[in-house]
Structure 1
């Protein structure tokens, strides 16, 4: 195996509250990344706790929940933080915010999906929102982990990452978000 193909990539999923979507993404990549990725999540204004239904759904689908916590993206902008290779926003609000300057110039993309924590209705309907978020995130992560990262030039990789963000379940970006 070459050094490039055996390299482990650091991936950060960002959301405003870091209580549901980014947490789900972190857990899915942890299990489904095949040891090729280290997954992290954070929020611009973290809620301070992981949504209980996110944890329930992850556990029901046998995804790891150990160590998951709601935290600020500031933890990843300090000098001794892991250097990110990829940073994905998973909510439209985070995509429109001024992010910290990430060391190492990571590849970025927006993979917005609806916030399951904002769902209304019966308990079952709200839980289905979390299951749908898991399904959409799992599909995006499967497409991401299947990419031949080592053989793609930066421009091609950026295009593929943006295409993944347009998959089923994608939110429409706000008009004021570039």
Structure 2
């Protein structure tokens, strides 16, 4: 019997950087076991070029990545999500759509690399840092025995993952 693939959504306000990074990381790291998606409450319509550059530099897929609205995923016929992670503090505080299937949610806030000012090297460094924090969290997520853990314990563990190093300064419990 084959284990089913889980649908995972990463949410951010603009869907240009952090949620895009997370979608690509999970696409590669969770291939065959997870379907990764990302969306924004107020998508900007373009993916940040530094996000694409960093993903490509680490060998992660960029094909098909686009900035899109979370409305696409709350419409009839959209895939039902099993997990939804907010990766920016603004999206965590917004009123989200009603998601079919009652997914498990957690906040994995990461400071916005797109908000960093400076030269290209400084901005790219912020994107690499965000990438590494997200990759670490996704690795922890992938190591969980999802099929054998009850929903409440899983929710607690997912919340704890959101408090690992790199938690945005506005995340609950951030140090």
Which aligned pairs between 1:61-100 and structure 2 lie closer than 5 A? Answer: 61-100=58-97
- Maintained 8 Å contact 2:109/2:171: no
- Kindly report which structure 2 residues correspond to 1:18-33, keeping only aligned pairs within 5 A, or say none: 18-33=15-30
Partner residue in 1 for 2:110: 113
Tell me: CA distance 1:96–1:122, structure 2 relative to 1, closer, same or farther (3 Å).
same
Aligned partner of residue 7 in structure 1, secondary structure: coil
Q: Separation in 2 of the partners of 1:173 and 1:79?
A: 34
The residue matched to 2:37 in structure 1 has which SS?
strand
**Following the alignment from structure 1 to structure 2, what is the Cα–Cα distance between the partners of residues 23 and 90?**
10
The answer to whether the 8 Å contact 2:13/2:41 transfers is yes
Is there any run of 5+ residues in structure 2 with no aligned partner, and where? none
Match of 1:124 in 2: 121
Counterpart of 1:103 in structure 2 is 100
Deviating beyond 4 angstroms after TM superposition, the runs of 4 or more aligned structure 1 residues are none
Give 1:47's aligned residue: 44
Matched, 1:9 2:1: no
Q: Aligned equivalents of 2:115 and 2:66: distance in 1?
A: 19
Q: Distance in 1 between matches of 2:102 and 2:170?
A: 23
Unaligned runs of 5+ in 1: none
TM-score, normalised by the number of residues in structure 2: 0.96
Q: TM-score, normalised by structure 1?
A: 0.94
Counterpart-to-counterpart distance in 1, 2:44 and 2:87: 16
Write the distance in 2 (CA, Å) between the matches of 1:8 and 1:52. Answer: 30
Q: Does 1:148 align with 2:145?
A: yes
CA RMSD of aligned residues (A): 1.1
Name which of structure 1's ranges 31-40 and 10-19 shifts more when overlaid on structure 2.
Answer: 31-40
Structure 1 counterpart SS, 2:8: strand
